[in-house]
Amino acid sequence: MIMNLVVRQVVQVLFVIVAAPLLAGWIRQCRAWLANRVGAGLLQPYRELSKLLRKQPIVAHEASVLFVATPYILFTTMVVAGAMVPMITTRLPLAGAADVIALAGVFALARIFAALAAMDLGTAFGSMGARRAMLVGFLAEPALLMVLFTPALISGSTSLVVIVRQLAHHGAMLYPSMAFAAAAYVMVTLAENARLPVDNPDTHLELTMIHEAMNLEYSGRYLALIEWASAIKLFVYIGIGAALFFPWGITQSHGLAALPMAYALLVAKLAAAGGGLAVIETLFAKLRLFRVPEFLGTAFLLAVLGLLVRYLFGH
């Protein structure tokens, strides 16, 4: 039994690590199709990562140990977050650690290290990107917690495993509170993953970039780890959304027979979410930096409304 649980955990972690670049490639391809372009293909992120991993990184003389260690810390924290989320099954060895508050803390830890590393060299772009990233995180994290508290109130627990089991047990019941929380979660996902309309992951313009500004001093395998960690983070955010708002298909049994169907359903959810994300990024232009607080303030308001609806009316 223990070996069965360990195998499930290892397989999910490997699936998250391997499939995250494919999700990024799918989103790029969908954006290309929506813009009437051919696109570079689904495997382009793998080619980019392979090229970066073969290159020797260049590190400034003023760089400290923090600057060198941060790519490994970011990659590790995102892998840990991917291991904590019950995307496929609730029978995982790390299920006891899958608390929504602890999960938000993992994301906050990665954000802090990324900002510190960006300011380590004292460059203008790095410091600017770190300040902007901390501003976005400062506004997005309360909204994320309010979103997570709504299903926690429904299930009576902050454990992701308990939340998924309770929501899956209720079937396709529509909760108005969860509808508000879902809308807020989409907005938080866009902000936390440097996507349009909050940030543009493809730009290098001084007045617009946030995430890319923190990575300008990285190269080679360090940049590959950062980009890979960003893809895993987006994968995990979509996995959390699928587990909270579309928990159907997540197996709760100890057997292995239901796992192939669970993985197939997860792939379908990821494909649908990636296509929807591509549509959002195609339809909406990037917001000015001074409008980002309004965007995330709206997300926080929607999350609080969902929480209040659940608390006052029980729906």
Predicted confidence (pLDDT) per residue in 226-237, tens digit:
999 999 999 999
**Model pLDDT, residue 209:** 80
Tell me the average pLDDT across 19-39: 95
Q: What is the mean pLDDT of the chain?
A: 90
Say whether pLDDT at 107 is over 80.
yes
For 205-210, what is the mean pLDDT?
73
Instruction: Mention every residue, 6+ apart, whose C-beta is less than 8 A from residue 216.
Output: 123, 125, 126, 129, 204
Share above pLDDT 70 across residues of the chain, in percent, rounded to a whole number? 95
**Is residue 98's pLDDT more than 80?**
no
CB 20 within 8 A of CB 232: yes
Residue 135 CB neighbour total at 10 angstroms: 15
Residue 73: the pLDDT is: 97
User: Which residues are paired to 99 by β-bridges?
Assistant: 159
The encoded tokens of residue 229 equal: 């960690």
The residues that bridge with 89 in the sheet, in sequence order, are: 251
Give SS3 for 245: helix
What distance in Å separates the CA atoms of residue 144 and residue 257, rounded to the nearest whole number? 34
pLDDT at 171 over 70: no
Please state, in angstroms and rounded to a whole number, the distance separating the CA atoms of residues 92 and 70.
28
Query: Comparing 4 with 216, which gets the higher pLDDT?
Result: 216
Residue 122's pLDDT band, with cuts at 50, 70 and 90, is confident
Quick one: pLDDT at residue 1?
Answer: 62
Residue 238 pLDDT more than 80? Answer: yes
- Is the pLDDT at 202 greater than 80? The verdict is no
206 has pLDDT over 70: no
pLDDT value at position 113? 96
Residue 196's pLDDT band (boundaries 50, 70, 90)? confident
- Give the Cβ contact number of residue 10 at 10 Å: 12
Average pLDDT on 241-257 reads 84
pLDDT category of residue 263 using cuts at 50, 70 and 90: very high
Q: Which helix (H) or strand (E) holds 101?
A: helix 100-120
- What pLDDT, on the 0 to 100 scale, is given for residue 184? 97
Please state, in angstroms and as integers, the Cα–Cα distance from residue 151 to each residue in 97, 241, 246, following that order.
17, 11, 12
% of the chain beyond a pLDDT of 90? 66
Q: What is the pLDDT of residue 221?
A: 96
pLDDT for 315 equals 67
Q: Give the confidence band of 7 by pLDDT, cuts at 50, 70, 90.
A: confident
pLDDT band at 252, cuts 50/70/90? confident
Is it the case that residue 170 has pLDDT exceeding 70?
A: no
Give the span between the Cα atoms of 130 and 285, in whole angstroms. 22
Q: At what angle do helices 100-120 and 124-155 cross, to 10 degrees?
A: 180
Half-sphere exposure of 303 (CA within 13 A, CB side): 25
Residue for token pair 């955010």: 237
Q: What is the pLDDT of residues 46-93, one digit of tens each?
A: 999 999 999 999 998 889 999 999 999 999 999 999 999 999 988 888
Instruction: State the virtual CA torsion across 261, 80, 97, 161 in degrees, nearest 10.
Output: -20
What is the rounded distance in angstroms from the CA atom of residue 160 to the CA atom of residue 97?
Answer: 9
